[in-house]
Amino acid sequence: MNKTIFVACDTSNLNEIKKIINQTNSNKLKIIPKFGLQFFYSKNGRKFLEKFQKDFWLDLKINDIPQTALSAIDSLKDLKKCKYITVHVNGGFEMLKSIKKKTKKINKNLKVLGVTILTSLNNKSLKEIGHTKNVKELVLRQAELIKKSGCDGIVCSAQEAMIVRKRCKNLLIITPGIRLPGDSSNDQIRIMTPRQAFKNKVSGIVIGRSLTKGNIKNNIKKLVDHLKK
C-alpha cells in the first residue's frame, strides 16, 4: 500500500511519544512521526529528536522575517533525520525562498513544506482576520507562491488538494484534518477521511487522534481496512 501516513505525536509526555512510535510501526503502511510545537518545546523533546534514528517531520510552522527564520533553520542542522520542516506561507516569498536555499546547504534531504490556511479555519474565520478571498482562492494563491519559491510541498486541507494538484502538479501535498469514518472532528473544520483524501491526489495525510487515542494497534488495523475499500 504505497501511501504515506504522518502520525501526529501531539503530547509532551516522552513515554507516550515512545508508545505512539512503537505501536504505529506497520509493515502495511509507510508511517512517519510528526512532532509539533508541544513536544519540541518540552523539556525532553529536543534531546529526544537529536538522537532519533528514523525519518521524522518537524512541524514548527516557522513564520518570521527572513533572517530570523534562517537562524531558526540553522539551529536545527544537528537534527540529521529531520526529513520535513514546515514554514508558514504568511512569512512571504522572500522567507520561503531563503529557507529553501538554506536547507540545501545544511541538509539536502530536508523537504520544506509551506503551511497554508489551518484546517481549524473556514471562510467566516478568514473574514474575521481581514482576508477578502475565500479559503480555496487563498490556498491556491499560496500554493503558487510556494511553487515559485522552490519549496517542496504544501500543507492544506484535502478539500483544496484537487485544485492545488491541477495547478501545481509536482508539489508534495500533505493534508491534516483527517479523521476515520465516525470519529469526532474535535477542533478541525475542513476534514476528510483518509480514502477521500487520497482520491483527491494528496501525497500524504496527517492523522492524530484517530490513531493515537484508545487502542493504537486496533486503530492502525481500521486504517488499513479503510484504505483497502
User: Can you read off the three cell numbers belonging to residue 72?
Assistant: 531558526
d(CA 108, CA 101): 10
User: Can you read off the three cell numbers belonging to residue 189?
Assistant: 473544520
Alpha-carbon distances of 104 from 17, 101, 126, rounded to whole Å: 29, 5, 34
**Neighbouring C-beta atoms of residue 211, cutoff 10 Å:** 23
Distance of CA 8 to the CA centre of its chain: 9
- 111 SS3 class: strand
Using an 8 Å Cβ cutoff, are 139 and 164 in contact? yes
- Provide CB contacts within 8 A for 89, sequence distance 6+: 96, 114, 115, 116, 142, 145, 146
Among candidate residues 3, 61, 111, 147, the one labeled active-site is 61
Using an 8 Å Cβ cutoff, are 8 and 207 in contact? yes
Q: What angle do CA 168, 34, 131 make, to 5 degrees?
A: 50
Whether 221 sits among the annotated catalytic residues: the reply is no
End-to-end CA distance of the chain: 12
Q: Which residues are identified as catalytic?
A: 61
